[in-house]
Structure 1
Amino acid sequence: MLERIKLDTILFLDIETVPEEENFQNLDAERQYLYEQKTQYQRKDDFSAEEFYDRAGIWAEFGKIICISVGYFVCKGDIRNFRVTSFFGDEIKILKDFSNLINNHFNQPQHLMCGHNAKEFDFPFIARRMIINGVSIPSKLNFIGKKPWEVPHLDTLEMWKFGDYKHYTSLRLLTKVLNIPSPKDDIDGSEVGHVFYVEKDIDRIVTYCEKDVIAVAQIFLKLRNEDLLVNEEILHV
C-alpha cells in the first residue's frame, strides 16, 4: 500500500512543545492543583507536582507549541527534492500559519500528513492547542465523527509496529536500526524546555525539529525500500 502513495501528496511534520509557563510557581493556585491531579499517576509519590513540572509540555492543557516543522517532496521527472520549513515564535501565529499552509496547499482528498508517533501526540496536541487558542481546525486535523479509514494521517511508528499494539520504538532507535542519520545529535526532547526558557535559543530548537522531520521522511522512504535522501536533495526554505 505504501508504494501506491505519491510522495508529493504527503506533508511530513514534527512539533516541539514546552510547559506553558517557565516555572510551576507562575501558575495560579487552581492550575497548580489541576496539574497535580493530572499527573498524580505518572508521578506517584516520587516527585511533587512542582518537581514534575518540566514534563508539562507533553500535555496540551499545560504546554504550548513553540515550533512546527514541515517537509514535503517535490518530484519532477528523475529529480527529487525535499523542502523543509518551520513556523516558530508566538503560538497563535504558529498555529494560524500552519493552518493556512494546510488549507492552501494540502487540502485535497489525496493529501496526507505523516509524523512519528503523531497520531498519539502531534496531531491531537495541535488540534487541542488550536481550540484553546481560538484557531479554526483544518479539516485534515479534525477527524471527529470520521471513520478510521477517512482520517488522512500516517504514522511511521504505527507502520513499524506491523499490528503489534504493545510495541513502541523511539525515533532515535528506529533511525539507528535503519542506518539513517540520527536527528538527536545535539539535543533531545527532554532538553527543549531548558534551551527555550534558559538559553533562549529558538534557532537551535528549530534545527532540531527540522532534523526530526527529515528523519521521518527517511524512515518512510526506507519502509518503501527506496533510496534515502542525500544532502543535495534537502532544501531549507
Structure 2
Amino acid sequence: MLNKIKLENILFLDIETVPEVATFAELSDLKKELFAKKTEYQRKNEISVEDFYDRAGIWAEFGKIICISVGYFVDLDGNRNFRLTSFSGDEKQLLIDFKQLLDNHFNKDHHLLCAHNGKEFDFPYIARRMIINSVPLPSKLNLFGKKPWEVAHLDTLELWKFGDYKHYTSLNLLTNILGIPSPKQDIDGSQVANVFYEEHDLDRIVKYCERDTLAVAQLLLRFNNLELLQEDEIVTIPSS
C-alpha cells in the first residue's frame, strides 16, 4: 500500500523543542510542584528535580516548540525536486504559520503528514501546543472522533516496526543502517536546549531540524526502494 501513495501528497516534518524557560528556578512555585510530580516516576529519586529540568522540553506541558521544519516533493516536468523550509522563533507565530501551510496546501483527504516517531511525539506535541497557545487545530491534527484509518499520519518508526510494538529504532540508527547521510552532523536532540538558551544560536537548530526532516523523506524513499535524493534535487527555502 505504501508504494501507492504519491510522494507529492506527503508533508514531511520534524520539530525541535526546549524547556519553556531556561532554568527550573524561573518556574512558578506551582509549576515546580507540577513538574516534580510529573517526573517523579522517571527520576525515581536518583536525580534532583532541578537537574532533571533540562529534559522538560519533551513534555508539551513544560516545553515549547522553537522550530518546525517541513519538506515536500515537487514534480517539475518529470524531474524530482524536494523543498525544505522552516518556521522558527516565537512559538505562537510559528504555529500559526504552520497551520496556514496545512490549511492552504495540505488540507485534502489524500494529504498526509509524515515524521519519525511522529505519532508518539511530533503530532501530539504540536496539537497540544496549539491548544495551549489558542491556535485552532488544523484538520490534519484534529483527531477528535476520527477512526484510526481516517488519521492522515505516517510514521517512519511505526513502518520500521512491522507490528513489533516494543521495538524502538532512532532516526540516527535507521539512517546509518540504510545508507542515508546522518542528520546528526553537528548537534543532536540532547544539545538543542543548550544551543538555544546558552549559545542563542537558533539558526544552528533550524539547520539541524531540516536535516532531520530530509532524513525522514529519505527513509520513506528507501522503504519504497526508490533512489535517494541527491544534493541538486534539494532546495532550501529561507526560514520564516
How do residues 105-124 of structure 1 correspond to structure 2 at under 5 angstroms? 105-124=105-124
Residue in 2 that maps onto 1:139: 139
Deviation per CA, 1:180-225, whole angstroms, max 9, x where unpaired?
0000011000000000000000000000000000000000000000
Query: Deviations along 1:147-181, whole A, 9 cap, x unmatched?
Result: 10000000000000000001000000000000100
In structure 1, C-alpha distance between the alignment counterparts of 2:186 and 2:42, rounded to whole Å = 27
Structure 1 position 77, deviation (Å): 4.1
Give the corresponding residue for 2:85: 85
SS in 1 for 2:49: coil
Could you list the runs of 4 or more consecutive aligned residues of structure 1 that deviate by over 6 angstroms after TM superposition? Answer: none
Q: Which residue of 1 is the match for residue 47 of structure 2?
A: 47
**Deviation by residue 1:111-162 (Cα, 9 ceiling, x = unmatched):** 0000000000000000000000000000100111111000000000000000
Corresponding residue SS for 1:74:
strand
**Match for residue 64 of structure 1?**
64
Q: CA deviation at 1:48?
A: 1.0
Residue in 2 that maps onto 1:38: 38
Aligned length: 237
- For 2:119 and 2:69, the matched residues in 1 are separated by 16
Counterparts of 1:174 and 1:154, CA distance in 2: 16
**Counterpart in 2 of 1:190?**
190
Q: Is the partner of 2:50 in helix, strand or coil?
A: coil
1:78 positional shift: 2.7
Q: Secondary structure at the match of 1:37?
A: helix
* Residue ranges of structure 1 left out of the alignment (5+ in a row): none
2:62 partner amino acid? F
* Other-structure match for 1:17: 17
Instruction: State the SS of the aligned residue for 1:51.
Output: helix
The residue that corresponds to 2:212 in the other structure is 212
Paired AA for residue 171 in structure 1: L
After TM superposition, the score normalised by the length of structure 1 is 0.99
Tell me the C-alpha RMSD between the 2 structures. 0.5
Where structure 2 has 5 or more consecutive residues not aligned to the other structure, the ranges are none
Please give the secondary structure, in 1, of the residue aligned with 2:229: coil
Q: CA deviation at 1:76?
A: 3.1
Aligned partner of 1:174 in structure 2 is 174
Tell me by how many angstroms 1:11 deviates: 0.2
Q: Secondary structure at the match of 2:51?
A: coil
CA distance in 2, matches of 1:90, 1:46: 34
Q: Report the equivalent of 2:98.
A: 98
Q: Which amino acid aligns with 2:15?
A: I
